[in-house]
Chain A
């Protein structure tokens, strides 16, 4: 009588122990190696995220090859503008130090749209202290040029006021003499 009573308790205990062992093995096998190093997550995921390749390489590598543009860009009022905003990311242009693609250069009407993304006075919330804005057909009329003119016919895209200031200087000199 007594032995049969114990045997069913032992069977239950053995079952629980077997389940616990199985559970433990399952947990060790299924839990990723670095899980729990810093918290309830896989610590290796931090390094995986950190090792993603960058696509925007800042202006410095652009200027390393494009010295002419660099010389204009760095001394003009557009010096704060990133090359890669207008031309696209460096990674589309150079891979492993070799040129692999041609980046677009906006022309004509496309360029006008690009300029007006920032310089359109029609959009309020653009403080004069931060950016100089114009209203579009009016600016062309004020400057007494054809309405079909694109922005870059007067403003160099990399140094917008370079030639305008130079012209003003020349005109000023003529006025003085």
Chain B
């Protein structure tokens, strides 16, 4: 009996190989027609498409590596096109920081970085010590001031950690816009309801990365589930590296981390 074993294993191996090839080819055929809402695209955030989505079983985090951001504005372009953001309003934007030797900080963001940065700053005459780009977006606070102030329960924090706006319920009082310490909210000029970055909740629920993360050419933006111990963000947040959140003294507990800040 011992002699027959290797041949059986070999056959099994060939069989599994063929099945796998068939599956891959079959999935490719499925990819070609493309009519559903994104289910045919390879999964980018692991574990979302496995069975029923459990709202309470996820804890998402966003990491922006400012040492890798080159200020190309891909993220801003993708964001504007993903949501048809009206001109003059930004769900995400890129700021340019300049620091001199006296500790002064100069920040500018022409058109939110949407057109990219083509020229160095000429309006200030300082000896530049350090300069870097800082992309800004919703911080998805664990204690969101915007949710606290909403009088009609139109903005809320979902069990899986996203701060969203209910556009059917929002009355457009703009209280949340004043409350947000990070100024990520604006009143949509057409619908007259509050709008903000959602970390592309509609994409994440389909197993895809947010549009800005997907287009970032230098991987300066990272997104993932902290409850998934194998996820990239989990590994990055374990260090090494300096991580910080914006305005930590305000007690908002953001889920957006900045690396190298």
Contacts and interface: CB of A to CB of B under 8 A. Distances in A.
A9 interface: no
Given A56-B81, A122-B120, A96 B35 contact: yes
A61 B35 CA distance: 11
Interface residues of A, number: 47
A8 interface: no
B159 A54 contact: no
A49 interface: yes
B38 A113 contact: no
Interface string B193-218: 00000100111011010010011011
Interface residues on B, range: 35 or more
A55 B82 contact: yes
B46 interface: no
Contact of A88 (B44, B81, B156): B81
A176 B31 CA distance: 48
A54 B206 contact: yes
B144 to A, nearest CB: 12
Contacts of A96: 35
B23 interface: no
A55 B81 contact: yes
Given A60-B42, A61-B34, A117 B116 contact: yes
Nearest to B164: A49
B26 to A, nearest CB: 14
B72 A117 contact: yes
B71 interface: yes
Interface string B154-170: 11111100001011110
Contact of A124 (B73, B82, B128, B153): B128
In the A-B complex, the 4 residue pairs with the closest CB atoms: A41-B156, A117-B116, A45-B166, A52-B202
28 contacts: A39-B156, A39-B157, A41-B153, A41-B155, A45-B156, A48-B166, A48-B168, A50-B206, A51-B202, A54-B38, A54-B82, A56-B78, A56-B81, A60-B31, A64-B34, A82-B74, A89-B81, A89-B82, A94-B34, A117-B73, A117-B117, A118-B70, A123-B119, A124-B120, A125-B131, A126-B71, A130-B67, A130-B70
